[in-house]
Amino acid sequence: MKPTRLAIVLGLLACAVGGVHADPPGLRPLDIGAAAPDFDLPGVDGSNHALKDYADAKALVVVFTCNHCPTAQAYEARLAKLYEDYKPKDVAVVAISPNDPKAVRLDELGYTDLDDSFEHMKIRARDHKYPYPYLYDGESQAVAKAYGCLATPHVFIFDAERKLRYQGRFDDAEVKTPKSHDAIAALDAILAGRDVATPTTRVFGCSTKWSDKQADARKSLETWDAEPVAIEPIDLAGVAKLAKNEGDKYTVVNVWATWCGPCVQELPEFVTMNRMYRGRPFRLVTISLDDVAKKADALATLKAHHVAATNYILNSSDRDAFAEALDPKWPGPVPYTLILAPGGEVVYRKAGGIDPLEVRRAIVAKIGRTY
């Protein structure tokens, strides 16, 4: 889906939302010529990685990046190619996630299926086959502070003596064809023994999520928890109209009931998705199969789980007609989950309990990972 101007603005705001929180006092990127600060950090491969481990490399590329940032995601393939192209030239590449995952609001995860936790770093590195080490600095953020990480991604390139020769962006284009291959040009100059023509460039990406932003992340949860929750009856004609999914949003439809334990158990997962993606072309709809006379019970359950979405209770006892109106391929059991594309095409369906990561991936695959 092509992003609208509003979506682009919202995405940029999501990345920069930490702007209301100042960087740590005195934070600034390393000066050109400065020695590489030491590090010893856990990697997704189960081992710790230290600066000394790369002592024999002719150059060292340190890239601060993360899971959730759309800009960081856009550079994954280019970083992997740099690693493969320059490994034969004895260049080492290390990626470090600087973010405190507890400092990231859910609405900052609108372009991703994963957060910035160490466990999710392992998943992303595995699924995207990262060839380079991916290290976690989110616990203390000491390494990010020592290097002066301003955003993700932020590139630092050191020569054989581990003196900084370049810091800044990878190149000048996130999703278009780059015109200025800044990091590669700097690396080529270092290997050739030349001065780097442009040793410093501006950094574009998502602000580093420092730990002092945890309070803001917690406050956002409290604000969302206080949102009103309502439920309305829906008849078969309304269900048929819902299935057409008129408009420009991808719609997750979750069919559930209070008497269905797995249904109630997974409601928090849908709440999380709604908070992640509702700033994008996305909406969440729930349909309760409880008897309409028990509307109050269904509403109480929704309120207990803070399901501030479009919530319905089926005003019909004809389950076959309901299935035909919503999705003729539904075999009948609940919970049942659909993702409807604009126009009504079913792009995902699951009878029974969901795999939350699978659903998030299906959503992001449609609404897009970049601006």
Write the pLDDT tens digit of every residue in 27-40.
999 999 999 999 99
Q: Greater confidence, 239 or 12?
A: 239
Residue-wise pLDDT for 194-252, tens only, equals 999 999 999 999 999 999 999 999 999 999 999 999 999 999 999 999 999 999 999 99
**Per-residue pLDDT for 11 more than 50?**
no
> What was the pLDDT predicted at 175?
80
3-class SS string, the chain = CCCCHHHHHHHHHHHHHHHHCCCCCCCCCCCCCCECCCCEEEECCCCEEEHHHHCCCCEEEEEECCCCCHHHHHCHHHHHHHHHHHHHHCEEEEEEECCCHHHCCHHHCCCCCCCCCHHHHHHHHHHCCCCCCEEECCCCCHHHHHHCCCEECEEEEECCCCEEEEEECCCCCCCCCCCCCHHHHHHHHHHHCCCCCCCECCCCCEECCCHHHHHHHHHHHHHHHCCCCCCEEECHHHHHHHHHCCCCCEEEEEEECCCCHHHHHHHHHHHHHHHHHCCCCEEEEEEECCCHHHHHHHHHHHHHCCCCCEEEEECCCCHHHHHHHHCCCCCCCCCEEEEECCCCCEEEEEECCCCHHHHHHHHHHHHCCCC
**Per-residue pLDDT for 4 more than 50?**
no
> What was the pLDDT predicted at 3?
43
Is the N-terminal amide bond of 153 cis, ω within 30° of 0?
Answer: yes
CA atoms in the 13 A half-sphere facing the CB of 223: 10
> What was the pLDDT predicted at 19?
41
Q: How far from 25 is each of 32, 128, 145, 200, 363, CA to CA, in Å? A: 20, 35, 10, 21, 39
**Per-residue pLDDT for 21 more than 70?**
no
**Per-residue pLDDT for 363 more than 50?**
yes
Mean per-residue pLDDT, 148-153: 98
Q: Greater confidence, 3 or 165?
A: 165
Confidence of residue 141 (pLDDT cuts 50, 70, 90): very high
Mean per-residue pLDDT, 10-20: 45
Residue-wise pLDDT for 232-242, tens only, equals 999 999 999 99
Provide the Cα torsion 147, 152, 158, 163; round to 10°. -20
Residue-wise pLDDT for 60-103, tens only, equals 999 999 999 999 999 999 999 999 999 999 999 999 999 999 99
| CATH superfamily membership of 227-367 | Glutaredoxin (3.40.30.10)
Q: How far from 343 is each of 15, 223, 243, 245, 310, CA to CA, in Å? A: 30, 33, 8, 5, 18
CB 51 within 8 A of CB 156: no
CA pair distance 121, 46, nearest whole angstrom: 12
Residue-wise pLDDT for 158-179, tens only, equals 999 999 999 999 999 988 899 9
Confidence of residue 25 (pLDDT cuts 50, 70, 90): confident
206-207 vs 151-152, strand pairing mode: antiparallel
pTM here?
0.91
Q: Decide if domain 5-217 falls under CATH 1.10.10.10.
A: no
Residues of the chain with CATH 3.40.30.10: 5-217, 227-367
Mean per-residue pLDDT, 148-156: 98
